[in-house]
Amino acid sequence: MNEKLTGMLLVISGPSGVGKGTMVKELMSRDPSVVFSVSATTRAPREGEVDHKDYHFVTEAEYDRLLEEDAFLEHATVHAHRYGTLKSEVEERIARGQNVLLDIDTQGALQVMEKAPDAVSVFILPPSFRELERRLRGRQTEAEADIQRRLANARHEVLLLPRYTYAIVNDDLGRACDTLEHIVRAEKQRTQRLSIQLDE
């Protein structure tokens, strides 16, 4: 038997503070075929973030140049900063059979879903808005105005849930990570991605 897998585009969204980053890291530690697509952003690095690993940190002028060159698969302004996914990075990796993961906001996710309808989209939900607020405050990385803006954005983002293929409530991190891993495993077996030739 001969099997050939082509890569998939995996889009993960959810409100700020819901635990997406933790879930993404856990998925990648469990499944080495999943690679993280590093987005470009105009925001400043947070403590511990590394350029070209966590994000491509660019100036406003550099971002404008990338826009003019049509270099983005998707781009959006989120919480007063601009973000974008580079086409080149995604296309090269999928062509090599890797599963490219995009951890992006709903604006960008909807753009990707329109351009790549075969993308696998997953929305991560908090168990409640109260719990989401608790998690945001627990990070101690944002001012009060930023927290309120993120909570307001979360209420809008949740309304877009029906546009996604899958939903996961992150009320138990281990269980949520298991569910995400199972989704990826199942999607790998889709006949559009898996070619099988049986021996005689």
Would you say residue 195 has pLDDT above 90?
no
In a domain, 181, yes or no: yes
With b for 16 or more beta-carbon neighbours within 10 A and e for fewer, the 36-61 pattern comes to: bbbbbbbeeeeeeeeeeebbbbbeee
In a domain, 69, yes or no: no
In a domain, 52, yes or no: no
Would you say residue 3 has pLDDT above 80?
no
Can you give the CATH number for the domain in which 184 is found? 3.40.50.300
Q: pLDDT for 92-119, tens place per residue?
A: 888 888 999 998 889 889 989 988 888 9
Mean pLDDT of all residues in 174-199: 91
pLDDT (0 to 100) of residue 200: 82
pLDDT (0 to 100) of residue 25: 94
In a domain, 130, yes or no: yes
Mean pLDDT of all residues in 60-66: 96
Using pLDDT thresholds of 50, 70 and 90, give the confidence band for residue 37: confident
Give the contacts of 182 (CB within 8 A, at least 6 positions apart).
none
Mean pLDDT of all residues in 166-175: 96
Token pair, residue 67, equals 């826009």
Q: pLDDT for 132-168, tens place per residue?
A: 989 888 887 778 888 898 899 999 999 999 999 999 9
pLDDT (0 to 100) of residue 18: 93
In a domain, 132, yes or no: yes
